[in-house]
Amino acid sequence: MTVRFRLALVVAACTATPALAQEPARLDFPPAISVSGEATVSAPPDLAQIDAGVASDAKTAREAAEANNTAMAKVLQALKAAGIEDKDYQTSRLSLQPQYAPNRPGQATVVGYRASNRVTIKLHDVTKVASVIDTVVGAGANDVGNINFSVAEPSKLLDQAREKAVADARRKAEIYAKAAGVTLGTPLSISEDGTPPPVFRVKTLAAPMAAAATPVAQGEETLSVTVSVIWAIKQGQ
């Protein structure tokens, strides 16, 4: 009798569980309108970065390295003479690699070596980009490119875009409220969809052959912000 009694309790508990699970959850949400707002702010870039360097070929690794060291020293001296501070240029790539004979079947044959040294140059005056390129090329740089333009302090511009994005969200919410015959209340929540500010990338030709100044277009930076806002609907209207 004791075993049967315990079994009956287990069965009763199992049959009661689905009934409890099927009860709908009670979620009380205040009447609200959910919209997203967008805004963009444009400004000319005030910071630029340039990659410049020297690639040297020779029969031996030592000869390639020595030739590259001599050529790169001239480029660095030219940067210093142009008024670029030491903290604004930094070695970004240094390599020494064998060069193989092309289109030869069988075992690869080393025919020489290539040494390369590249620096990243930061310019706080974007109007100097063209002149700095001409300076490093004139000093012997034969590997130039990957120019990046950006805004040094994007947070100030993003704050302006945030204000405009919230205003855009309010404008949309008021349209929906008017169409629905209700009155817009205070915002219940505001969230931002974070996206990194875009950076223009301009590539130049390596070692320009002409003596004319290098043409560079800096363009304009456009920073965008998107926010999601939930607005309450006023009661008793």
pLDDT in tens, 141-180: 999 988 888 888 888 889 999 999 999 999 999 999 999 9
**Domain of residue 93, residue span:** 47-150
Number of domains in the chain: 2
> Domain for residue 7, yes or no?
no
Residues 6 or more apart in contact with residue 54 via CB below 8 angstroms: 68, 71, 72, 75, 116, 117, 140, 141, 142, 143
Q: How far apart are CA 70 and CA 158, in angstroms?
A: 45
Residues 6 or more apart in contact with residue 10 via CB below 8 angstroms: none
Q: How far apart are CA 126 and CA 200, in angstroms?
A: 13
The amino acid present at 40, given as its one-letter code, is T
pTM: 0.63
**What is the CB-side half-sphere exposure of residue 59 using CA atoms within 13 A?**
0
Compute the Cα dihedral for 72, 74, 75, 77 and give only its sign: positive
**65 and 128, same domain (yes or no):** yes
- Name the nearest CA neighbour of 76 among 114, 125, 47, 117: 117
Q: How far apart are CA 231 and CA 41, in angstroms?
A: 25
**87 and 107, same domain (yes or no):** yes
> Domain for residue 20, yes or no?
no
Q: pLDDT tens digit string along 46-83?
A: 899 999 999 999 999 999 999 999 999 999 999 999 99
**195 and 166, same domain (yes or no):** yes
> Domain for residue 22, yes or no?
no
pLDDT of 202 strictly over 60: no
β-pair type (89-100, 110-123)? antiparallel
Structure-token pair, residue 97: 């690699």
**137 and 188, same domain (yes or no):** no
**171 and 135, same domain (yes or no):** no
**51 and 101, same domain (yes or no):** yes
Mean pLDDT for the stretch of residues 102-118 = 85
> Domain for residue 213, yes or no?
no
pLDDT band of 208, cuts 50, 70, 90: very low
**41 and 54, same domain (yes or no):** no
- CATH number of the domain to which 144 belongs: 3.30.70.2970
Give residue 64's Cα distance to chain centre.
36
